[in-house]
Chains A and B, each alone.
Chain A
Amino acid sequence: MKLMQGNEACAAGAIAAGCRFFGGYPISPSSEVAEEMARLLPKNGGVFLQAEDEMASLGAVIGAALGGSKAMTATSGPGFSLMQEHIGYGYLAEIPCVIVDVMRGGPSTGLPTAPSQGDVMQAQWGTHGDRASIALAPSSVQEVYDLMIQAFSLSESLRTPVIVLVDEVVAHMREGVDLTSSDSASIKMRPLPTQPPGVSFEPYRSGEDLVPHVPDFGVGYRFHVTGLMHDERGFPTSNTDIAAALLERLEKKVHLATDLVAPESYLMDDADIAIVAYGITGRTAKAAVDVLRSKGTKAGLLRPRLLWPVQDEMLKAALANVEIVVVAEMNRGQWVREVERIVAGDAWVYPLLKAGGSMVTTEEVVSHALSASDRLSTTDGGRSSRQDLRIG
């Protein structure tokens, strides 16, 4: 076991996954990722680029990725906002890259450097147009390392940007990490064309795997990449049928990630109350489950590691037998909407929402779960409004 900070483990995981390009602009609470990559990349034959801003950073990452590198950037909310245009470009042009967003309190320059989970919806809906996102949420330093490797694996194999949403606490926390935990042989590579350069080919044609075999730039193939709607040759088109089919394929492709990242489930088998939480809040919730169990309340934890795409069927099955779902998050109510959509009235959803820069505490989760339970028994299902249970 090696003592590492979350941001250090982020860089170590990226290097282990084969990342050899980092383009970024430092911003707390993500700066240590850049610092660490600046140290590690030259030693490992890679390139570190500090750009003039976040837009240029992700532009450089996209260029490096098209040139064949596994590439990433790391930023926080204000920089993540600036990157949204390029994230959309990466999605439509199917460019693999990993974007780490260490969330701090927002909007705007907001709260450096206090914890938040306020960028969850932005990770899905931040860029314009219909886009399906992949976003991972680690809750420990070990999981930062492991999920970085998985992020590269998903990004390369599906040829799409993958977002890793880390909260400030996990990013700055120090914990033991087992650097042998992830098998590097399991890292998937991007699919490449099988025919040699010079033969006519369609770089954006995909088969049943829904992923096009786009070559890397600079190895002899001639092809075109664009952020306009394009046909399978990669050239712009205004044919609405082609555009509709492209959007459908891109969404289906991203949903292939749904089964690849399992949520953590703790004492859910006989639970009446499920606590749903992610990131550092998931650990608070786990401690709260222990306290609730010691008081005789059958509570369990469901902690998604994949926030986007939402694992509808998996979560619906996991929550099928509970009466109450407490959703705890450090924002004014974001992912809870997905839980409400999935539960669809089959259980009472009680959000525990805390924004403003401080963590949800174990005591708060316990008391909300108990008061939700009391309400249910005394008012026969009188569902509270969200406002009632919002704190901070």
Chain B
Amino acid sequence: MTADLSRVKIRLTGSGGQGIALAATVLAESALGCGLHATLIQEHGPEARGGATRADLSISSSTIPNPQFQLPDLCLVLSDKAWDRFGKKLIDRDDVGLVVDKEKVTLPSLANNQIGGIVAMSFEEAAKSRIGSKLVTNMICAAALARLLEAISMDSLSDAAERRSPLAYREKNRAAIRLGWQLMDDYLDTHSLPWRVPGHEIGKLAVGAASDCGANTSEAGGSALTA
């Protein structure tokens, strides 16, 4: 199972229309741009058209035999419906990192930004107030996750987003990626992560990727996720 040691499993969840699939696609494409392997599988049922939806992304420094996984290392949750289906059951696990939009997932206990192993942030609020469109929330989230992973550079992410964006949104998405990266940077400056993800040396993945990936991999140096 040595091939799996550096594999990171990320589940992105939300409601149909929030751009979960595009965020995951952009992350996968930027991982390829950094010389890594990626697989992305999604749910394609009626859920993707309004109900809770999910995208399962794996990123690894070696080939990925099986794209499916039961338990993610990181799970992004962007809606109540997604919380009920995917997030809630992970709350007691300290080997899964939960990242939640605290305005979209209405749990009173999330008020302090970090309760019960959850990183709670304001993605959609930031999109509206600082970029002027909630439609770029997905790119803010992609950048925040990429900053957390330290395996994908901001440049690679921006390039992938540009390829996948309609012309009218290229500039906004670029700004959203800078913003998402900065939000997670600021979070990591002031908090220690409330989870431990054993068995995945994400920092090493970053080192392996950095040479292919340009300068922006990490300014912080150390790995935010090293267990």
Contact = CB atoms under 8 A, between A and B. Distances in A.
A290 B1 contact: yes
Interface string B1-42: 101100000000000000000000100110010000111111
A286 B65 contact: yes
B66 A287 contact: yes
Contacts of A143: none
A134 B67 CA distance: 27
A112 B44 CA distance: 8
11 contacts: A3-B38, A28-B44, A169-B41, A169-B68, A172-B42, A176-B38, A280-B67, A283-B66, A287-B66, A290-B4, A363-B70
Contact of A3 (B3, B25, B45): B25
A76 B45 CA distance: 15
B68 A3 contact: no
Interface in A267-306: 280, 283-284, 286-287, 290-291, 294
Contacts of A363: 70
A366 to B, nearest CB: 12
B32 A361 contact: no
B66 A286 contact: yes
A334 interface: no
A176 B1 CA distance: 22
B68 A113 contact: no
A173 interface: yes
B38 A361 contact: no
Contacts of B37: 176
Contacts of A2: 32
Nearest to B3: A290
Contact of A173 (B4, B65, B67, B70): B67
Interface size class of A (residues with CB under 8 A): 20 to 34
A172 B70 contact: no
A168 interface: yes
B40 A174 contact: yes
Nearest to B40: A174
Contacts of A359: 68
A287 B60 CA distance: 15
B35 to A, nearest CB: 9
A342 interface: no
Nearest to B37: A176
B160 to A, nearest CB: 8
A175 interface: yes
Contact of A362 (B25, B29, B41, B66): B66
Contacts of A291: 1
B187 to A, nearest CB: 28
A114 interface: yes
Contacts of A176: 32, 37-38
Contacts of A3: 25, 28-29, 32, 38
Contact of B44 (A172, A175, A287): A172
A175 B39 contact: yes
B65 A283 contact: yes
Given A3-B25, A3-B28, A284 B40 contact: no
Interface string A351-392: 000000001011100000000000000000000000000000
A310 to B, nearest CB: 25
Contact of A114 (B29, B40, B45): B45
A283 B44 contact: no
Nearest to A28: B44
Interface string A171-197: 011111000000000000000000000
B68 A361 contact: yes
Contacts of B44: 28-29, 113, 168, 172
Interface string B184-208: 0000000000000000000000000
Nearest 5 pairs between A and B by C-beta?
Answer: A287-B66, A174-B40, A3-B29, A287-B65, A113-B44
A317 interface: no
Contacts of A361: 68, 70
Contacts of A113: 44-45
A320 interface: no
A174 B66 contact: no
A294 B45 CA distance: 36
Given A173-B67, A176-B32, 15 more contacts: A3-B28, A113-B45, A168-B44, A169-B41, A169-B67, A172-B44, A173-B39, A174-B25, A174-B38, A283-B67, A284-B66, A284-B68, A287-B65, A294-B1, A361-B68
